[in-house]
Chains A and B, each alone.
Chain A
Amino acid sequence: MTQPSVPNSEPRCVPCRLAAIGALVLAVAGGFAYTAGWLTPARLTTSRLINTFETVAGQPHPGYRRNHAKGLCVEGYFDSNGSGATVSRAAVFAPGRTPVTGRFAVPGGNPSAPDTSSPVRSLALQFQLANGEQWRTGMNSTPVFAVHTPAQFYQQLLAAKPDPATRKPDPAKLKAFYASNPETLPFQNWVKAHPPSSSLANAAYYGINAFRFTDGAGTTRAVRWAMVPETPYAPITDAQKAEMNFLQADLDQRLDSGPLRWHLILTVAQPGDPTDDATLQWPDARQHIDAGTLVLDRTTSQENGTCRDINFDPTILPAGIAPSDDPLLAARSAAYALSYQRRTREEALHPAIHQTHANGDRS
């Protein structure tokens, strides 16, 4: 490139040069298509994961989340007592109050599913920090997750796919999945030993994944958290098991007599505790920090409540909390984003989508 070319001199082998330009453009375009996952149908991409959720849900439920579709919005606040600041410099742990918008939900892609369709319930929260930062979390009522990796999660989804004839999952397929994936054992054992609670209010909700907390001095530790209820646990009753929808009415009734409280318990890992495996609990002897009280004082329907337009992406974190190396976290973030993209598009194209549901189906 040091010798200036002579303008308009006849180049040698024009077809070779054209071919070279074409090959370069094709290579870049091919690389782009490969990166997007368009050339590798077997690769587990975000869209394949969400498409499978939609298949498992049976019929489409436009405007609803692709998982944990059934739920309700809650409002309240978090009163930090300052103890969390010993492990994280996040402003939410300084003493004081942070407004919270949340959502209780039942797993699965069907917004009208029975409350008892899964032994698991979830609580998602968004803490709106005064400095403009946010902390979003999606928690489950089980301290361990069923699977370790996104690929395993996908296999579990496939095993739960409804049989075209019965329109129900094939129990043999699910059994085969659990048998060939021993990582699911801690989850199965925990669910067997802990019947679901009688209410959304008397369950503990666990942050599922480990996170990295960094304190004011720059020290980073692995931490898991749980929202532990003040309301004492009671198991689900037989009468409740026979009902399709009891969780929201129960919660509303309890809130009529006053706000409900949970304690944010931070569990600090010791070196060697697994941070990349949500199927494994840490030993009980780990340090627990009660960082403050979550107070929920009112519900709104998910069709027009403030939680509807929130994607509870667990990787949206304030400075002082960061994702761990748990492979599920990135998959959750990617999948939630696509679910949000699809359902907001459906809402934008059909603005009345939730009005038809809000009358008959308040769940």
Chain B
Amino acid sequence: MTPARTHFSPLARLLHWTMAPLIVAMLFIGVGMVASVSRAHNTLVAIHKPLGIALLLLVVLRVAVRITRGAPPLPADMATPQRIAAKASHLVLYALMVAMPLIGWGMLSAAGYPVTLYGPLHLPPIAPHDVALFALLRALHTWLAFTLFATVLLHLAAALFHGLIRRDGVFSSMARSDR
């Protein structure tokens, strides 16, 4: 690694672009499946659970990659409030990417549901069967999902602002390699 690296590593970019559409899909699936009384409800629930666990595995890898490989520095001419906003929003994104699947898993556990993945394959509970805990986690799952969605939109807008208006290399640091 050269100290003056301007782009994310290929693995970091692969993880970002794999997870980004999946996370957006999860948010739409989640909000759609709880609203729908059509057959789509069953299909969406059957996707939501295993996809959530897949995203949990991916985010564990991603946090490890981020910690070991870091991120390219932000442009020197960025104002301090913008820098703080950038760092804080990324911290929120990482925290929610870890928290959402864990809360989902914990909430199913607290309700006494089997955490089914595919066929007879299911995960053990990570919380006791306790409806007060379920009520808390269920509410958190919704409100943190809305927070994650809002943060993703902010992230999208900021990325495009960097890419289309500031054109300062921040967007391309994740969009392509430095070659």
The answer to whether A132 touches B28 (Cβ under 8 A) is no
Considering the complex, give the chain B residue whose CB is closest to the CB of A343: B131
User: Counting CB contacts under 8 A, is A315 at the interface?
Assistant: yes
Stretch at the interface among A173-181, A258-266, A333-341: A333-341
Most buried by A among B32, B113, B139, B172: B113
Q: Does B64 contact A (CB under 8 A)?
A: no
List the B side residues contacting A24 at CB < 8 Å.
Answer: 156, 160
Task: Report the separation of the CA atoms of residues A4 and B139 in the bound assembly, to the nearest whole angstrom.
Answer: 45
Chain B interface: which of A40-48, A199-207, A221-229, A246-254?
A: A40-48
Cα–Cα distance between A340 and B167 once the two chains are bound (Å): 50
Question: Is A37 an interface position by the 8 A CB rule?
Answer: yes
* Pairwise interchain contact B131-A25, C-beta atoms closer than 8 A: no
Minimal beta-carbon separation of B163 from chain A (angstroms): 8
Interface size on B, residues (CB 8 A): 50
The verdict on A330 contacting B37 (CB below 8 Å), with A132-B122, A311-B111 known, is yes
Q: Is the CB of A36 within 8 A of B138?
A: no
State whether B169 touches A7 (Cβ < 8 A): yes
Q: Which residues of B contact A341 (CB under 8 A)?
A: 135, 138
**A36-B165 in contact (CB<8A):** no
Residues of A with C-beta under 8 A to B165: 11, 14, 17-18, 21
Asked if B132 and A344 sit within 8 Å, CB to CB, the answer is yes
CB-CB under 8 A for A49 and B139, given A20-B164, A21-B161, A316-B113 = no
Contact indicator per residue, chain B 21-35, by CB within 8 Å of chain A (1) or not (0): 000100110011111
- Are the C-beta atoms of A344 and B131 separated by less than 8 Å? yes
Interface-lining segment among A64-72, A75-83, A182-190, A345-353: A345-353
Residues in B108-146 with C-beta less than 8 Å from chain A: 111-114, 116, 119-120, 122, 124, 129, 131-132, 134-136, 138-139
Question: Do the beta carbons of A344 and B135 come within 8 Å of each other?
Answer: yes
Q: With the chains together, A24 CA to B156 CA distance in Å?
A: 9
The reply to whether the CB of A155 lies closer than 8 angstroms to some CB of chain B is no
Cβ of B36 within 8 Å of any chain A Cβ, yes or no, is yes
* Residue A274 at the chain B interface, CB threshold 8 Å: no
Residues of A within 8 A of B37 (CB): 44-46, 49, 150, 330-331, 334-335
Name the contact of B153 in the complex, choosing from A6, A29, A37, A133 (C-beta under 8 A): A29
- Rounded to whole angstroms, the CA-CA distance of A194 and B169 in the bound complex is 76
When distances are taken between beta carbons in the complex, the residues of chain A under 8 Å from B119 are 319
Q: Which of B23-74 contact A (CB under 8 A)?
A: 24, 27-28, 31-42, 45
| B175 in the interface (beta carbon within 8 A) | yes
Expressed in whole angstroms, the Cα–Cα distance for A22 and B131 within the complex equals 41
Q: Across the interface, do B41 and A331 meet the contact criterion of CB distance under 8 Å?
A: yes
Partner of B27, one of A8, A32, A91, A327: A32
Verify A333–B168 contact, CB threshold 8 A.
Answer: no
The answer to whether A133 touches B114 (Cβ under 8 A) is: yes
Interface residues of A in 84-141 (CB under 8 A from B): 91, 131-134
A contact residues around B149 at 8 Å (CB): 32
Evaluate whether A348 and B36 lie within 8 angstroms (CB atoms) in the complex, with A1-B175, A133-B122, A340-B111 already known: no
Q: Are A35 and B35 in contact (CB under 8 A)?
A: yes
Q: Within 8 Å CB of B34, what residues of A?
A: 46, 334, 337-338
CB under 8 Å from chain A, chain B span 87-125? 111-114, 116, 119-120, 122, 124
Selected A-B contacts with CB under 8 Å, 8 pairs: A8-B168, A21-B161, A31-B28, A36-B35, A44-B37, A309-B112, A316-B113, A345-B138
For the complex of A and B, list the 5 residue pairs with the smallest distance between their C-beta atoms, beginning with the closest: A348-B135, A319-B120, A331-B37, A348-B132, A330-B41
Name 5 extra pairs, CB < 8 A, besides A20-B160, A318-B120, A330-B37.
A35-B28, A35-B31, A309-B131, A347-B135, A348-B136
